[in-house]
Each structure stands twice: as structure tokens, then as C-alpha cells.
A and B are shown apart, each in its own frame.
Chain A
């Protein structure tokens, strides 16, 4: 019971977190249709920071000029949204804006214009291992422009300090003919039309050295960057089936020397062989194997009028996966997601490869002693729960590793009683290994499970389940529905349990476990109809699709509960809470759908791709 409630709270929180994470990104959308440009490198011709950065660089990122971020067509819409206006008018932002206005006046330049001119040729960020420093290089409008406005800015800072009776804030020094300025912990220097900013003097020197002396070893010669140049990176980037790449603009490119990062960070939880956390292993197991072995990782962020996509790629080799991780990647990295059924208005569908039985039985190799002790206890409880069947071998072992999960909003009859909090229905679909044996086994286990729920429910004064059986075509559907108390008025609507009608159904060799019998029936109907699209994109190991419209519908049907929740959690008045929830729903209405896709391409690379599709106006 408490679990349902917590689940809901968590669900709402995750959602609001997810949406608010997207906010800062969406704010940067440009106003005009961006010009088709895929390579940031286009902005740089003869000069390239790759030739100036030391070969001990471990992270290198190229970021598009500010103008490209600011001129996205959706920016106009965004600044009109309530959420943006609220932030824009908040006291914190007002204070910053006030300061900016003063500075703008002193320098004689509008900030947005200044940023555009400052980054006209792109922004380049690097982290260096040797000096433990960060350096940012921007190619500005031109050498003359830079020296003029750098001087103005420095003047302004000096005057500001003087007016506050503070000591001279800027130190300056010459190094190989380049003037460097130190303000607090930051160092600035103009190198031709380039502005360099770094937090380490040694790094500043290293960069200046290389602009003068081409013989020094540079990032371009670093061995690891050779790998990011190979086909797996280029091959993996930027083909989304849902929309063409013609209008996509690449806003960020980055590459990381993972081998060095690993050696610097050393043995920590992320890179240790035995996992401490069961959940993390279940979700990320195979990815961790790659992170533990891959020499490099590279990625990009693209944006066009229809949405944004983030992609991260790393090389991947079969021997990197220990035998114990076969449950995740499949034999010879052959594990692939099954084709997901197309259910109308589903909130989310997930298809993935995960051999749960193998994972359970290999737990000894995968986890440390502590997790294993807990698993041993869980095994004992679960085996008792499943009428003496061994949980790892008999229950998890009964299904094939191609798994599907579907979530969909439930509809409740108009006018009649419905649950006060409406939760989506969930279904789990997998193929049975020995259908003829397992169908009967599972049916019996399902019956005892319902009995168990009734007994424990009775102890906690919870409603009782009634077991029934039905058929869709030739396929049996076993389900249990909560029974209403005849004497109870339910003046507060139905309790949260009435969202559930646990269901077990079979379709040929497939088993369906659903939280609601309606969803199970729908899945059977869909699968029986001939129009059902089969087949999954090749190489895809995990595919998660989210439908923002359906998700919003679920949240809207729970708006009152969410408002009450917000009032309790934030101490808001009803009006404040309502405003916040409406803002959240408003932001959500920006999106149409999202996908997360993980694939092992040609077994030679791992690619993770997140797409968010914008709701077109």
C-alpha cells in the first residue's frame, strides 16, 4: 500500500525532474531556421585548437557559436511560456539582469550581441591531465574587435573595484609576446582573434607554446584521438529513422580519453568488477563493461526544428564482456530487443535483452558479499512465495531473455466510481521456454500468489481479490479483481488498489503478466490482428519509447492529487501549487515523444542515443 503511494510520488518526482532538466537546454533554441551545418569544424579553417592543445588532453569538446543556440525557432515560443517568464522575473534573475545592464552600459555592448561576437567561430573546451586544468578557447569576430573589447572589459572591472575601495583586481604578465591577465583564479589571453580562458597558468603557457612552436606534441597527435577518427564514430553519428538529418545542426561534439580518465580516477565503484548495487547492475551491467575497457568515448548533441538528440558512442569488443555479463549482452554479444507490439496511446514501451535467470544464478560473480547475502535471503523468500519453485531456475528460467514492458493509461467508466489516484497499467511480455509445461505451472503459481495477496491483505485490512478466467480467442486469461465492500460508501472514491487487476495470460508461447486485465486483453487483441508490425531495428539491444502526450494525459487525470501532493511537499497554497503543476504540464506539452536506444553495432561499438521530439506548433 505504502509502496503504491511512494511509487506514485516517485513517479511524479521523476517526471518533474526529467522535464526540468530539459528546460535549460530548450531555452537555447534559436529563433530562425538554422543553416544546415553538420560539422562544427566548418567554423575553423586554417587554425584548429587541436594543434594548440597539449597531447595530455583527456577531454575535448567543440560547441557551436552562441548565435546558433539563440536563433532556434522555438526560442520565441519558449520566452512566452509561463515557466520562463516566472524565472525571468524571479528576484535572483532580476538582480543578475540589473548587474548585466550596468556592465552593458559601461562597455557599450548588449550582452547577447557580445556573446555572439565573442563566439562567432565556435567554442572549444578541453581538460588537461598534466596541469589538471580546464581551458576554453573561443574564436571571436576578429583580432581588432577582441583587443578593443577586452580592454574595455578590463577597464570596467578595474573601475568597479576602485569604486568599492578594493585593491587592483587584475594582474598581467607577458609570455612569449602574448599578454595574459589574471582575475581571481582565472587567466585570460588574446591570441590573435582567439580568446583563451583557463584556470591553470601552466596550461595557458602550454597552449601559447604550441601556437608559437609547431614542433611540440599536440592533441592531434595524441594516440587516443586516432581511435575517435575511425569509422565507428562517424558511422554511428546522426541517423535517426524518425527524421532526416538534412536540417539537423550539430551543436556539441565531444571526445574523452577514457583510458586515462580510468587510470586517474583509479578503482572506484563505477569501474570495479563486482557491483555493489543490484539495480545499477540490472540496468547498466553491459554498459559498465564497456566503460571499464573502452579506450575512448565520444558523443554529440544535435538539434533541429523537430527535436534534439544526444548520442554517445564507444568502441566495444566481445572479449570485454566477462562471462558473468553474458546475461546482459547475450552469447557473443548477440542479444537483441524483441519487436514491441504497437499499442495505441501507450505511455511507454520498452524492449530489451536480459537473461534474468542467468543473472540471478551468476550473482555470486557479479556482486559483492553484501549484495549476495541479501539476494540469498530474497531467494529464500521468493522461493517460499512461489510455492517451493526455485526462483532463479524455475521461475526466471522459464522465460526467454527477450523482454518487453508496456505502460498505458487506464480508462475508467464515466460516472461510476473510480480510484482517486489513477495509475497507469503495466504489462510484461516474454516468450516461454517450455510453454506446454510452464503454462500450467504459472497458472498455479498465479493462483497461490493471489491467495497470498488476499491473506496478507486481510491482515492489513485491505480489499480482497476475486479470481476469474476468461478467453480471448483460444488464449486463456487468468485475472483477479478487487472486490468492493458492499457496505462501504467510498465517498472518497476507490482506494488505490482498484487500479490493479493482476493478470496472467498466454498467447502461443508468449506469457503476459499485466497489472490490469484490460491491458492484457488489448495486447492479445493486437497480437492476434494481422496488421501487427513485427521486427525490430537491427543491432538494437534496448529500445525505450515514451509518448509525452499519453504521459500528460495520465498526469492530467491526477491533477488534483498532484496539486495536493505539491501543497504538502512544498507547503504551497493551493493557488501556488496549481500554478506549478500547470507549468509542469505546460512544459510537458512541448514534447511529442522521446526514445532511448542502445545498440551494439556490428558488435564493434556501443551506441546510446536519446531523442526528444518537439510537439510542432
Chain B
């Protein structure tokens, strides 16, 4: 019998059409980002956003307080914060006294308060409203998909050893990260990012050389074919491994240098931000971190609970931004805080407040041109007892995605919010 040759011309031609699926996906992504590259600034792949989600619905009215307003005093006879206690930031407008740790951030001009943020026909269910904030979609008619997930699917490049997004916390992955084909790590503690059982990296520099050698030998097992520029599977895992070890070594170094990071208070949020600060300082190339702080559903006995939460939040944010500034990273790390809704203007009968609508968002970290963005929602023109929103939350997201990260927000937000984002002037001075 004649020995059959293995390769035939026809088959080779057919295979030429069958491009490796992963690789095809990546091409499409590159293409997509080029198409979308209408963002006003170039992609700033070193910029970082830390999203803090205040779960339960933060009482915005008792956070950024129109303390002298007659209607405020009337709506909050028991819960109202008195003018003598607030931290005055503008005429008649003050922060809750428990936020005094933000003093320095305020005086440095590193805080922006976006007032009256919300969305059309507000939903007062925690779950539904949170889904809207995280998915940027009103109806649950499609598979769960979040704004960060969609952003990652557009911008995650395989050369980047770290995931573009990381969720820090023990709870389940927030919907904001969900998207087909996107897998985002949930980091419950720093230990998860540290190599246990230390091994001296004997000749660790060789690892790179090894990758190069395996690159050259295209016939190595585990090498893949198709696109020549593509590393084989083995080469890919080797590069990723040396990147992971290097990241973990940098992390160990920053841990050794700053054995006990100063200024971080002991609270759950602070611990999470501490983890993030260490990852950032270790040079991990993640761009969006996400943490949550729960407990804002203050239906009863609000004062002590709300005060404790605001203190925890502001102490943690102050410590984190201080740490970034100290390490010279303040111009690339932005903290963005939101809650799924605010609370009703009028207090209820059990010293608490019920689910409401519009509330402020907070940006902190880099020098920001305006302390106050947008107007405080009217206390007289209410929507069924709730504050009306003046700024769509997606406009704030759009500003962050476009102007801070320098990427396109169209796919991520499932719509075009660029015009309203520009109007906010979050990062640029009003001309």
C-alpha cells in the first residue's frame, strides 16, 4: 500500500479559513476598539478606577446636607443634622459630621460630589435598582451583562497578565462584571494574590529566556499554529507564569517595605481598600477594582448606623487616597462611589428613612476641577416624595470611561452618553 501523505493541499487551504477561535475573537476586539476609538483622549492603560458600591441605598440627603433649608428641617425633624454640626462645603451645604476625615482630601481639591444622580422612572427595589446601576439596562430581557464586563470584553488584551477587572470581597461577583466570555477574579483577601511557601527564584531571569527559546522552536509540543505572532499554549502559560511570579514578588516587596500601612483604620471597607492599594503599588495592571460596603438600608434608628457607615466610608477613602498620594500614584487612581438609590426626603416614624431616588455620587483621588458638579436636587419639586435626578448615572460612567480611562463608552454603557458626560466637566475645567 502506498504511504499516504498526511497533508493535502486542499485540506491546508480549508484550514487556512478556519482561524483559531480565540485568536479570531481577539482580532474582532481589536477591530472593535479601533472602530470605537472615538473617545476624546488616547487609551490610558495605566489609569485605575476603584468603584465603591454602598449597598442598601445611602441617605444622600443626610450625606450632602442642605442644612439651612427650611424644607429639609421640616422633612427631617428628628433626623436632621444641625447647621452647627455639619462640615460646611458651600453656602448652606454641608457634609455629615462623621465625614471629617475627608478634610484633607477636600482641602487638596481631590474630591468631587456629583449631585442629584439617578435615572429615569426610578425603581425602588434594591435588587432591581442595583441591577440597573450595574447593567446600565432597564429591562432584564437579556442574559446578565454589566458595564464593566462589557468594557473588559472590549479591552482585555491577551498580553496583559492581569485581569482588567478585579472584585475585592468575599461576596459573590457583582453583576457589573458579568459578560459572556469574561472571567473576573474575586479576591477575598490579599493572601489570594501571594505565593505561599516561598521558593528562592533561582535563575528566575531565565524564565524569560526560556519563553524565547520555546518561541523559536515552533515545533515544540504545546505550540499552537495559525497566527505566527501567537505564542503557543506552553509559551503563553510560561509568560503568564513569570508575570504572575513577578507580580507576586513585587507584592511581597511592597508588603515588606510597608509592613503596616499607616493610617488605614480597622474596618471592612478599609481592609479591602488596603488590599487594592497593595495590588496597585505592586504594579498589578488591573484597571477597575470593585468593592462593596453594605448596611445602608436604614429604615429604623438611622442616626447611629448611618454615622458609623459614613465614618467607615470616609475614613477608608481618606486613608486610601492618602496612601496613593504618598506613593505618587494620585494622578492615576480614581475612587468612584455610588449607591443604588437615595432615600425619601421625609423621615419615617421609626427614626429612619425609606427607599428613595436621586442621590450624590463621589469621585476622589486625583486633582478634580470642581467640588460640586450639578445642582442639589430641589426639595420642593419632588417625584412622589423623592428627589428628582438631574444627572443620569451613565453620564458619570461615560465621563470616567472616556475622559479618565481614554476608552470608548459606547459598548460598555449600551448607549451614547458622551454628550452629557462632556457637559459634566468632571475632569476638565469649565472653559
A559-575 vs B, CB cutoff 8 Å, 1 = contact: the mask equals 00000000000000000
Would you call A376 and B350 a contact (CB within 8 A)? Answer: no
Would you call B301 and A379 a contact (CB within 8 A)? Answer: yes
Would you call A380 and B267 a contact (CB within 8 A)? Answer: no
Q: Does B299 contact A (CB under 8 A)?
A: yes
A387's closest neighbor in chain B, by CB?
Answer: B350
Kindly identify, within residues 307 to 349 of chain B, every residue whose CB is under 8 Å from any CB belonging to chain A: 307-309, 311-312, 349
Would you call B301 and A380 a contact (CB within 8 A)? Answer: yes
- Complex CA distance for A381 and B281, rounded to whole angstroms: 37
A384 cross-chain contacts in B, Cβ below 8 A: 297, 299-300, 350, 352
Would you call A379 and B299 a contact (CB within 8 A)? Answer: no
B297 cross-chain contacts in A, Cβ below 8 A: 380-381, 384
Q: Does A586 contact B (CB under 8 A)?
A: no
Please tell me which one of the listed residues B266, B305, B309, B349 contacts residue A379 in the complex, with CB atoms under 8 A apart.
B305
Would you call A380 and B307 a contact (CB within 8 A)? Answer: no
Would you call A388 and B300 a contact (CB within 8 A)? Answer: yes
A-B contact count (CB 8 A): 47
Q: Does B302 contact A (CB under 8 A)?
A: yes
- Complex CA distance for A388 and B300, rounded to whole angstroms: 7
Kindly identify, within residues 215 to 267 of chain A, every residue whose CB is under 8 Å from any CB belonging to chain B: none
- Complex CA distance for A381 and B307, rounded to whole angstroms: 15
A377 cross-chain contacts in B, Cβ below 8 A: 295, 305, 308-309
Q: Does A462 contact B (CB under 8 A)?
A: no
- Complex CA distance for A332 and B304, rounded to whole angstroms: 31
B295 cross-chain contacts in A, Cβ below 8 A: 377, 380-381
Q: Does B134 contact A (CB under 8 A)?
A: no
Main SS class of interface, B: loop
Would you call A376 and B300 a contact (CB within 8 A)? Answer: no
Would you call A372 and B308 a contact (CB within 8 A)? Answer: yes
**Most central of A380, A381, A383, A390 by chain B CB within 10 Å:** A380
Minimum CB–CB distance from A67 to chain B (whole Å) comes to 47
Whether A376 touches B266, Cβ cut-off 8 Å, given contacts A384-B352, A388-B300, is no
Please tell me which one of the listed residues B266, B312, B349, B352 contacts residue A380 in the complex, with CB atoms under 8 A apart.
B352
Main SS class of interface, A: helix
B286 cross-chain contacts in A, Cβ below 8 A: none
A374 cross-chain contacts in B, Cβ below 8 A: 308
Kindly identify, within residues 358 to 386 of chain A, every residue whose CB is under 8 Å from any CB belonging to chain B: 370, 372-374, 376-377, 379-381, 383-384
B298 cross-chain contacts in A, Cβ below 8 A: 380
B312 cross-chain contacts in A, Cβ below 8 A: 373
Would you call B267 and A370 a contact (CB within 8 A)? Answer: yes
B26-52 vs A, CB cutoff 8 Å, 1 = contact: the mask equals 000000000000000000000000000
A390 cross-chain contacts in B, Cβ below 8 A: 301
Minimum CB–CB distance from B272 to chain A (whole Å) comes to 15
B304 cross-chain contacts in A, Cβ below 8 A: 376, 379-380
A372 cross-chain contacts in B, Cβ below 8 A: 308
- In this complex, how many residues of chain A approach chain B with their Cβ under 8 Å: the count is 13
Minimum CB–CB distance from A375 to chain B (whole Å) comes to 8
Would you call B300 and A373 a contact (CB within 8 A)? Answer: no
Whether A388 touches B349, Cβ cut-off 8 Å, given contacts A370-B267, A377-B295, is yes
Would you call B308 and A376 a contact (CB within 8 A)? Answer: yes
- Complex CA distance for A384 and B311, rounded to whole angstroms: 22
Minimum CB–CB distance from B348 to chain A (whole Å) comes to 8
A379 cross-chain contacts in B, Cβ below 8 A: 301, 304-305
A378's closest neighbor in chain B, by CB?
Answer: B305
- In this complex, how many residues of chain B approach chain A with their Cβ under 8 Å: the count is 19
A386's closest neighbor in chain B, by CB?
Answer: B300
Minimum CB–CB distance from B173 to chain A (whole Å) comes to 18
- Complex CA distance for A390 and B300, rounded to whole angstroms: 8
- Complex CA distance for A374 and B299, rounded to whole angstroms: 16
Minimum CB–CB distance from B412 to chain A (whole Å) comes to 30
- Complex CA distance for A372 and B309, rounded to whole angstroms: 11
- Complex CA distance for A210 and B300, rounded to whole angstroms: 69
A379's closest neighbor in chain B, by CB?
Answer: B301
Would you call A370 and B300 a contact (CB within 8 A)? Answer: no
Kindly identify, within residues 344 to 386 of chain B, every residue whose CB is under 8 Å from any CB belonging to chain A: 349-350, 352
- Complex CA distance for A379 and B349, rounded to whole angstroms: 16
B301 cross-chain contacts in A, Cβ below 8 A: 376, 379-380, 383, 390
A368's closest neighbor in chain B, by CB?
Answer: B266
B309 cross-chain contacts in A, Cβ below 8 A: 373, 377
Would you call A380 and B299 a contact (CB within 8 A)? Answer: yes
B54-66 vs A, CB cutoff 8 Å, 1 = contact: the mask equals 0000000000000
B350 cross-chain contacts in A, Cβ below 8 A: 383-384, 388
- Complex CA distance for A434 and B380, rounded to whole angstroms: 45
A380 cross-chain contacts in B, Cβ below 8 A: 295, 297-302, 304-305, 352
A381 cross-chain contacts in B, Cβ below 8 A: 295, 297
- Complex CA distance for A376 and B309, rounded to whole angstroms: 9
B305's closest neighbor in chain A, by CB?
Answer: A380
A376-417 vs B, CB cutoff 8 Å, 1 = contact: the mask equals 110111011000101000000000000000000000000000
A118-135 vs B, CB cutoff 8 Å, 1 = contact: the mask equals 000000000000000000
A373 cross-chain contacts in B, Cβ below 8 A: 267, 308-309, 311-312
- Complex CA distance for A376 and B298, rounded to whole angstroms: 10
- Complex CA distance for A300 and B307, rounded to whole angstroms: 50
B288-302 vs A, CB cutoff 8 Å, 1 = contact: the mask equals 000000010111111
- Complex CA distance for A376 and B295, rounded to whole angstroms: 10
Minimum CB–CB distance from A321 to chain B (whole Å) comes to 26
- Complex CA distance for A379 and B312, rounded to whole angstroms: 17
B303's closest neighbor in chain A, by CB?
Answer: A376
A392's closest neighbor in chain B, by CB?
Answer: B301
B305 cross-chain contacts in A, Cβ below 8 A: 376-377, 379-380
- Complex CA distance for A379 and B304, rounded to whole angstroms: 9
- Complex CA distance for A596 and B266, rounded to whole angstroms: 36
A370 cross-chain contacts in B, Cβ below 8 A: 266-267
**Most central of B295, B311, B349, B352 by chain A CB within 10 Å:** B295
Minimum CB–CB distance from B367 to chain A (whole Å) comes to 31
- Complex CA distance for A309 and B359, rounded to whole angstroms: 63
- Complex CA distance for A388 and B349, rounded to whole angstroms: 8
Kindly identify, within residues 251 to 272 of chain B, every residue whose CB is under 8 Å from any CB belonging to chain A: 266-267
Name B's A-contacting residues (CB within 8 A): 266-267, 295, 297-302, 304-305, 307-309, 311-312, 349-350, 352
> Other than the known A380-B295, A381-B297, what 17 A-B pairs have Cβ atoms closer than 8 Å?
A370-B266, A370-B267, A373-B311, A374-B308, A376-B301, A376-B307, A379-B301, A380-B297, A380-B300, A380-B304, A380-B305, A380-B352, A383-B301, A383-B350, A383-B352, A384-B300, A388-B300
Interface pairs (27), CB distance under 8 Å: A370-B266, A370-B267, A373-B267, A373-B309, A373-B311, A374-B308, A376-B305, A376-B308, A377-B295, A377-B308, A379-B301, A379-B304, A380-B295, A380-B297, A380-B298, A380-B300, A380-B301, A380-B304, A381-B297, A383-B301, A383-B350, A383-B352, A384-B299, A384-B350, A388-B300, A388-B349, A390-B301
Closest 10 CB pairs of A and B: A373-B308, A383-B300, A388-B350, A376-B304, A380-B305, A384-B299, A376-B305, A377-B295, A384-B300, A376-B308
